[in-house]
Structure 1
Amino acid sequence: MSDDLGGRPNAAGDEADLVARAVDGDRAALAEVIALLQDPLYRLALRMTGRPADAEDAVQEIMIRVLTRLATWRGEAKLLTWAYRVGVNYLLNLRRQSPQERQQLSLDDFRDDLAEGLAAEDYRGPEATLLTEEVRLGCTQAMLQCLSRDERVAFVLGDVFDLKAAEAAWILRISPAAFQKRLERAKQRLATFLRSTCGLADAKALCRCSRRVDRAIELGRVQPRRPAFAQHPVSPGGRTVAAAAAQMLTLRDAAGVIRVHPDYAAPQAKIDAITGLLHSGRFPLLD
């Protein structure tokens, strides 16, 4: 199961009517638009920035841009697809966020990092299952950060969100052929890395999540009392951490290790703040 397109209305006419009502000041319609977009856009931001705190800040900026430009949407694409275009443009131009990006860490560098401090045996301390899953989720986020942003966004749109090439190409303002080329390059790089490094992708590979827990805690990448990913809220009815872990085991391709994450929900406090700003008149909807 890949990230879906976010529970949008079934017909383009329904979306057009909903947006028109929101732009005209219908608060219920605006709340519905926000509910449709908030979680998919947050998951996009999280995959691109790698860390919940950075994704929270990014999704707030993206949502404000989307909502204050609602009147410019003309139905040339689905509402969420159009919102993804706004979000991708913001994220591709965002200052460097993650440690991997700031240090320009390559996948080879990351492989060396994972090999250092690898324990001889599985972690068996408190909350071993939870912390092992936290290592996996954090590690797969970090892998994405080792790609260029162009490769990363292609992988996220095409392989994580499972968008068609034409739709993803429209978001990126490139041709479908160019998008496909970027996606294949990203998938090949990640697959090569995973098969040589990740025990979940290849039993012969060097790394095991359960043997990285102590080192991850030591480096501060895992907070035992506040796991960033393994206890992150998910969308109502969405894929949980346990469901994601179970599904990952059924996949045959190496990239599935990265693809399968819980259906994380946008932090409600940020969404409430956005709604408050819009209702304050400081960021009026364009008409």
Structure 2
Amino acid sequence: MATAPEVLDPEALAAERDLVARAVAGDRTAVGEVVLLLQDPIYRLALRMVWRPADAEDATQEILLRVVENLNSWRAEARLLTWAYRVGVNFLLNLRRRTPQETNQLSLDDFSEGLKDGLAEQDYRGPEATLLTHEVRLNCSQAMLQCLARDERVAFVLSDVFEVSSAEAAWITGATPAAYRKRVERAKKRLGSFLTRTCGLSNPDAFCRCSRRVEKALELGRVDPRRPAFAAHPVTPGGRSVEEAEKQMVRLHDAAAVIGAHPDYAAPRDRMAAIAGVLGSGRFPLLE
């Protein structure tokens, strides 16, 4: 089992100790600050693991409630967010709800073959072409992640998308550093192979282009032009927009860039308000 990662910022850790101590003592303002600190990173993690925003909202709510419920067990062996990631990963790896790819046991090879079906000869030129092309790209990169086993998926996301250090990520997942590195290596190899033979963003010689998948995605209902799930998703104040994330991806040209090129999504504020309501419901003794 991995040991807890070393904390490198004593001042930040001291501030988090104080915040958590006040929250555990029943300070509702401090509890709100904890939730505010964690909600967007946890939501982005959940979104990578469960694909759809609505499912990510449900998962985020449950993870944050578990975090608050167990705040008194945080011993500052890692940063608060790192510890919250551990709570979240444990929940997400054991989630009963399956994505469609998981239910159908869809492999990356199967996914690649499916992308050939309905691929248009020309770029989509219809209404909202840029928005819908962004939506197809973002939806596709989410979908391809679901073709990985959950332990490989979370390892890749922590390492290559969130850029968490190997020591921290191994601790978060409860794996040894060696086992964690193997999971990342397997995930990168599978995704790299898929992108090289399939994705024109990663390899200009590959067959698939987001702009040529728009019509088929609209036909299948995988993209809703009235309510795009990803391209118009709210972002964290000061975070990357869709356009900024895509520029970063174009500069890098690798698997991590393609899959990581999502904006810095913000957890939906109406759901966060619902969490605040639950926290005030009497379920949590530390708030009584």
Same fold (TM over 0.5): yes
Aligned length: 280
Which amino acid is the alignment partner of residue 115 of structure 1?
K
Q: CA deviation at 1:254?
A: 3.1
Matches within 5 A, 1:103-252: 103-252=104-253
Cα deviations across residues 213-252 of structure 1 (Å, max 9, x unaligned)? Answer: 0000111100011000000000010011111111111113
The answer to whether the 8 A contact 2:50-2:56 is kept is yes
CA–CA distance in structure 2, aligned partners of residues 34 and 125 of structure 1: 42
Q: CA deviation at 1:263?
A: 0.4
Report the TM-score, using the length of structure 1 for normalisation. Answer: 0.95
The answer to whether the 8 A contact 1:41-1:87 is kept is yes
Q: CA deviation at 1:286?
A: 8.2
Q: Give the CA RMSD over aligned residues.
A: 1.5
Percentage identity across paired residues of the two chains: 68
Q: CA deviation at 1:283?
A: 2.9
Q: CA deviation at 1:285?
A: 3.3
Report the TM-score, using the length of structure 2 for normalisation. Answer: 0.94
Q: Name the structure 2 match of 1:53.
A: 54
Q: CA deviation at 1:10?
A: 5.1
- Give SS of 2:105's match: coil
Which amino acid is the alignment partner of residue 179 of structure 2?
A
The answer to whether the 8 A contact 2:49-2:153 is kept is yes
Q: Name the structure 1 match of 2:23.
A: 22
CA–CA distance in structure 1, aligned partners of residues 165 and 153 of structure 2: 16
The answer to whether the 8 A contact 1:54-1:97 is kept is no
Cα deviations across residues 144-196 of structure 1 (Å, max 9, x unaligned)? Answer: 00000011000011111101111000011111111111101101110100010
Cα deviations across residues 110-161 of structure 1 (Å, max 9, x unaligned)? Answer: 0011000100110000000000000000000000000000110000111111
Matches within 5 A, 1:29-40: 29-40=30-41
- Give SS of 1:255's match: helix
The answer to whether the 8 A contact 1:232-1:264 is kept is yes
Q: Name the structure 2 match of 1:5.
A: none
CA–CA distance in structure 1, aligned partners of residues 285 and 102 of structure 2: 35
CA–CA distance in structure 2, aligned partners of residues 234 and 187 of structure 1: 27
Moved more, 277-286 or 171-180: 277-286
Moved more, 10-19 or 40-49: 10-19
Which ranges of structure 2 fall in alignment gaps of 5 or more residues?
1-8
- Give SS of 2:252's match: coil
Change (3 A) 1:20 1:219: same
The answer to whether the 8 A contact 1:96-1:102 is kept is no
- Give SS of 1:235's match: coil
Q: Name the structure 2 match of 1:4.
A: none
